[in-house]
Amino acid sequence: MKRILSLPTVALLAMAASGLAPRGGPSEYPAHASAGQLTVAAAAVSVDQAKKIFGARIDQAGYLVFEVALYPEPGSEATVSLGDFALRLGADGNSVRAAEPEVVAAATIPDHILGQPESQGNVNVSTSSGHPSTDIGPKGGVSNSQGIGVTSYPDAPPPPNAGAKAAARKRLDQSLASKQLPTGRITQPVAGYLYFPKPSGRARKDGFELSWSGENGQAKLTVPPGK
DSSP for 14-76? HHHTSSB---SSGGGSSEEEEETTEEEEEEEEPHHHHHHHHSS-GGGGTEEEEEEEEEEPTT-
Is the pLDDT at 156 greater than 80, yes or no? no
DSSP E strands, 173-226: 184-186, 190-197, 208-214, 217-223
Give percent of the chain above pLDDT 70: 69
pLDDT of amino acid 114 = 67
Instruction: Name the average pLDDT for the chain.
Output: 80
State the angle between helix axes of 162-179 and 101-108 in degrees (0 to 180), rounded to the nearest 10.
150
Is the pLDDT at 192 greater than 50, yes or no? yes
pLDDT of amino acid 141 = 52
Q: For residue 72, how far is the Cα from the chain centroid? A: 26
Is 90 exposed, middle or buried, given 0-12, 13-18 or 19+ CB atoms closer than 10 A?
middle
- Tens digit of each residue's pLDDT (9 = 90 or more) over 110-144: 987 665 554 444 444 444 444 444 444 545 554 45
95/65 Cα distance (integer angstroms): 15
pLDDT of amino acid 160 = 63
The two beta strands, 133-136 and 142-145, are antiparallel
- Tens digit of each residue's pLDDT (9 = 90 or more) over 14-35: 344 489 999 999 999 999 999 9
152/125 Cα distance (integer angstroms): 9
Identify the band that residue 157 occupies on the pLDDT scale cut at 50, 70 and 90: low
149/151 Cα distance (integer angstroms): 7
- Tens digit of each residue's pLDDT (9 = 90 or more) over 73-93: 999 999 999 999 999 986 667
pTM over 0.85: no
Q: Is 96 left (phi over 0), alpha (psi -120 to 50) or beta?
A: beta
pLDDT of amino acid 81 = 94
Identify the band that residue 158 occupies on the pLDDT scale cut at 50, 70 and 90: low
More confidently predicted of 66 and 154: 66
More confidently predicted of 12 and 103: 103
pLDDT of amino acid 123 = 45
Query: Which residue, among 193, 189, 212, has the nearest Cα to 50 in the 3D structure?
Result: 193
